[in-house]
């Protein structure tokens, strides 16, 4: 089901007790800016631009996975940590010049005090400094009461959140994840979470195919929104 406005979003989240948000490509439409920074690095070390097909494969992967794909695609070798540090500095420079477009629907629901006021989590594989600056950039820096930053596999944070809510707050259901990566959506579904898929220009083809496959297999409860 496509969610088109704030009223539909409120209705679809009426049983939500715990909300979990990805940042890049979900709360903020930052993927293009991230990949401008990645392309700068690729061009510096190979003399070539990444193709649109390569960029679409890199989308929604963490930095270390992207490094592995770049090494394979361009037949080069480098120290991952050095390249990631350089790429992050490039991104921060772009961030000074260009405000990040925010997801207006999610921004609106987060500004409503009644929406999961005590159980809002962020999960991201992004660097903590970048993640904080992205949230500040769109005015959401104080809208979360628990954050799990900089994990190489977000699955670990999903499990931590689920166990923490069960043990500390006696919450066993009503988990909702907002995410733009099919990989992490599948993980969340397997953990029993509800999911709102997020579609943007760079993941559109992959996400629409993913949603179609889920519908063909009988998962008719999947919801999605588009970053506008």
Q: Where are the alpha helices (DSSP H) in the chain?
A: 6-12, 31-46, 52-58, 63-74, 80-97, 104-110, 128-138, 154-169, 182-190, 204-216
What's the rounded mean pLDDT across residues 108-112? 88
All domains of the chain in start order, with CATH: 6-29+101-226 (3.40.50.1000), 31-97 (1.10.150)
Q: 58 or 194, which is more confident?
A: 194
Residue 197 parent element (H or E): strand 194-199
- The pTM assigned to this predicted structure is 0.86
DSSP per residue, 79-127: -HHHHHHHHHHHHHHHHHHSPPPB-HHHHHHHT-TTSSTT-EEEE-SS-
Q: Which of 19, 17, 21, 67 is nearest to 45 (CA)?
A: 67
Region 77-103 average pLDDT: 89
What residues does 197 pair with on adjacent strands? 179, 224
- Tell me the pLDDT tens digit for each residue of 8-20: 999 989 899 999 9
């Amino acid at each position: 089901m496509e969610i088109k406005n704030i009223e539909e979003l409120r209705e679809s989240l009426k049983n939500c007790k715990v909300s979990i948000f990805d940042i890049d490509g979900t709360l903020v439409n930052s993927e293009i800016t991230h990949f401008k920074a990645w392309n700068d690095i690729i061009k510096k070390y190979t003399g070539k631009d990444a193709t649109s097909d390569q960029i679409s494969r890199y989308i929604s992967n963490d930095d270390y996975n992207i490094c592995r794909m770049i090494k394979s695609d361009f037949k080069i070798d480098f120290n991952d940590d050095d390249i990631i540090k350089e790429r992050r500095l490039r991104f921060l420079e772009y961030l000074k010049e260009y405000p990040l477009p925010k997801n207006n629907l999610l921004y609106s629901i987060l500004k409503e005090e009644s929406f999961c006021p005590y159980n809002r989590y962020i999960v991201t594989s992004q660097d903590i400094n970048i993640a904080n600056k992205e949230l500040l950039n769109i005015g959401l820096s104080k809208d979360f009461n628990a954050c799990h930053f900089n994990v190489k596999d977000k699955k670990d944070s999903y499990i931590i959140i689920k166990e923490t809510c069960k043990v500390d707050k006696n919450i066993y259901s009503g988990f909702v994840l907002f995410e733009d990566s099919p990989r992490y959506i599948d993980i969340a579904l397997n953990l029993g979470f509800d999911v709102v898929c997020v579609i943007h220009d760079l993941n559109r083809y992959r996400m629409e195919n993913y949603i179609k496959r889920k519908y063909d297999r009988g998962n008719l409860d999947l919801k999605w929104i588009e970053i506008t």
